[in-house]
Structures are given as structure tokens and as C-alpha cells.
């Protein structure tokens, strides 16, 4: 069920019985010369809506702009500063809780959002408002990603390229795949400049790659994208079902160990 397509009486029927929602979050940022800036938020929305269709749970509108300042040198990249992003996500999560949603999955497709979504989840849990978890699509199927691609890459690489070939093929510039690979950094994990004596020696994407691409996109196909999409959607659907089966009290923070502070005063 997609929240924004419903009339309010229809949503009242949902919250009378259910308390779970999935929130897709991505970014609007450069993904090299071959992929659109919409890559992350289109992947997040596609997976969240598919999982909601499979389970019947509620899917909210997508957060299209994330924490992407590390891509700022490339044309068109938009970003929210981290504190404002966290406050925004927390605010609408509390809105959902007001309407009876107390379990939330942040279906995320942008690495820059991860730390901040987890912090929001901690805040909501500490206040016993809701239990919210961050879910990153590729981290739910790491074995499949490794099996499908010889040289992956965390940004603009073959996994994202394949997913977009499946979800939004008209906006994938297939004639730029070789240029994306050749102008980027294929084996970024073993770069001598990325990590120096144990220190992460970069802040922005452009510090590693002139065209904003990491990985080898040339072995991406729509068929591989469809396989990734189906597997990740199933993982998300199973997470939603698992969360729905938990008692809310069991999801909250555990009490302080005994003896309780001040109990012997």
C-alpha cells in the first residue's frame, strides 16, 4: 500500500490493524557519466514499493535528497547537511508514530545516509516512540552481488548499473559504460592513495576518481539487475514481516543491570 495514493479513511483502516511502514531513502547525486542523478532514490523506491506490494505493508513517499556533500564537486548533486537530515527524518518518523506506526524500516540506497539513519533510530527507540532500523539493499544480498560481478565498486559500479538497467533503462547511458570504467577507479579498495598508514585519506568522491565512478560497470546487464531486485525485495519483505511479529516492548532498550542506580541509598 502506497501512503500518498490513499484517502485518509483507507489509512485509518490500515493503522487499526497494522503498525509497520517502510520509508525509502536515497539521494540526488552524481553517479558517473552513465547513470542519472536519480539512481539511489529510484532504487530505494523500487525496492520499498515492491516489498510493500508483496506484504501489504505501508510504503511512504521517497526521500530523494540525502547526505551527499562528498559528491558536491559534480554538477547537479544536491545534499542536506547531516544535522538537518537527521532532524527531518526523525520529525516525519514521529508523524508516522502519531498515526499508529511504531515499527519503521528505512529502506536505504545511499551509503551517506547510513550512519544518520541509525542515529535517528536510536533517538526514536530511546524515547520509546518507535523502533526504526536502517536497511541497505546491497548489504542484504552480499553473496549474490559478489557472485554476479567480478569487480564491484560502491558507487556507480555494476550493481547500481544493473539495477538501473532493470528499473529505469531509458536513463542508463549504455554507450558510456567503458568510459565510466576507464575514467574512474576500478579497484578502489586496493588504491594506494585511499588509505595511507591506516588513515582514510579522502573526504570527497573526486579525491579518488575524476568522473565519480568506482568499479567496473561493463559486466552489468538488465538480467543481473532483475535478479538483484528480486532478491533484495524478498529480503526487505522478510524484514518487514519479522518486525511485525515482534512485541513492541521487546524491541525497546533493555533496563539498566542490577543493582539499579540509587537503589541502595
Q: What is the 3-state secondary structure (H, E, C) of 75-136?
A: CCCECCCHHHHHHHHHHHHHHHHHCCCCEEEEEECCHHHHHHHHHHHHHHHHCCCCEEEEEE
pLDDT at residue 24, rounded to an integer: 98
* pLDDT of 188 higher than 70: no
For residue 56, give the CATH number of its domain: 3.40.50.10310
Section 177-185 average pLDDT: 94
Give long-range contacts, CB 8 A cutoff, 24+ apart: 3-10. 3/58, 3/59, 3/60, 3/61, 4/60, 4/61
List phi, psi (to 5°) of 151: -125, 105
Query: pLDDT digit string (tens) for 240-250?
Result: 999 999 999 99
Does 254 map to a domain? no
Count of domains for the chain: 1
Section 178-194 average pLDDT: 83
Does 116 map to a domain? yes
Does 263 map to a domain? no
Give the domain extent around 66: 3-248
* pLDDT of 192 higher than 90: no
Does 75 map to a domain? yes
Q: How confident is the model at residue 206 (pLDDT cuts 50, 70, 90)?
A: very high
Query: pLDDT digit string (tens) for 136-170?
Result: 999 999 999 999 998 888 899 999 999 999 999 99
Query: pLDDT digit string (tens) for 212-258?
Result: 999 999 999 999 999 999 999 999 999 999 999 999 999 999 999 99
Which of the residue ranges 44-58, 72-86, 182-196, 219-233 would you say has the lowest mean pLDDT?
182-196
Does 32 map to a domain? yes
Does 190 map to a domain? yes
Tell me the C-alpha distance between 264 and 106, whole Å.
42
Q: How confident is the model at residue 189 (pLDDT cuts 50, 70, 90)?
A: low
Mean pLDDT of the chain: 95
Section 203-212 average pLDDT: 92
pLDDT at residue 264, rounded to an integer: 84
Q: How confident is the model at residue 196 (pLDDT cuts 50, 70, 90)?
A: confident
pLDDT at residue 131, rounded to an integer: 98
Does 261 map to a domain? no
Does 98 map to a domain? yes
Amino acid at each position: 500500500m502506497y501512503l500518498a495514493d490513499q484517502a485518509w479513511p483507507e489509512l485509518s483502516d490500515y493503522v487499526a490493524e497494522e503498525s509497520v511502514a517502510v520509508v525509502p531513502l536515497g539521494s540526488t547525486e552524481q553517479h558517473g557519466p552513465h547513470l542519472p542523478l536519480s539512481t539511489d532514490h529510484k532504487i530505494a523506491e523500487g525496492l520499498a514499493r515492491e516489498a510493500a506490494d508483496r506484504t501489504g505493508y505501508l510504503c511512504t513517499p521517497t526521500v530523494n535528497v540525502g547526505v551527499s556533500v562528498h559528491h558536491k564537486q559534480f554538477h547537479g548533486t544536491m545534499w542536506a547537511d547531516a544535522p538537518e537530515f537527521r532532524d527531518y527524518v526523525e520529525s516525519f518518523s514521529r508523524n508516522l508514530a502519531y498515526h499508529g506506526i511504531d515499527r519503521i524500516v528505512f529502506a536505504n540506497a545511499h551509503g551517506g545516509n547510513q550512519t544518520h539513519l541509525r542515529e535517528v533510530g536510536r533517538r526514536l527507540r530511546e524515547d520509546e516512540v518507535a523502533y526504526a532500523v536502517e536497511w541497505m539493499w546491497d548489504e542484504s544480498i552480499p553473496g549474490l552481488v559478489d557472485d554476479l560481478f567480478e569487480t564491484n565498486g560502491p558507487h556507480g559500479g555494476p550493481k547500481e548499473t544493473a539495477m538501473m538497467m532493470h528499473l529505469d533503462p531509458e536513463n542508463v547511458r549504455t554507450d558510456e559504460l567503458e568510459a565510466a570504467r576507464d575514467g574512474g577507479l576500478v579497484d578502489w579498495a586496493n588504491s594506494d592513495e585511499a588509505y595511507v598508514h591506516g588513515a582514510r585519506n579522502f573526504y570527497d568522491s573526486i579525491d579518488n576518481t575524476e568522473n565519480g565512478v568506482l568499479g567496473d560497470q561493463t559486466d552489468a546487464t538488465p538480467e543481473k539487475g532483475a535478479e538483484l531486485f528480486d532478491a533484495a525485495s524478498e529480503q526487505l519483505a522478510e524484514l518487514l514481516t519479522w518486525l511485525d511479529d515482534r512485541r513492541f516492548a521487546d524491541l525497546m532498550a533493555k533496563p539498566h543491570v542490577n543493582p539499579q542506580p540509587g537503589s541502595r541509598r
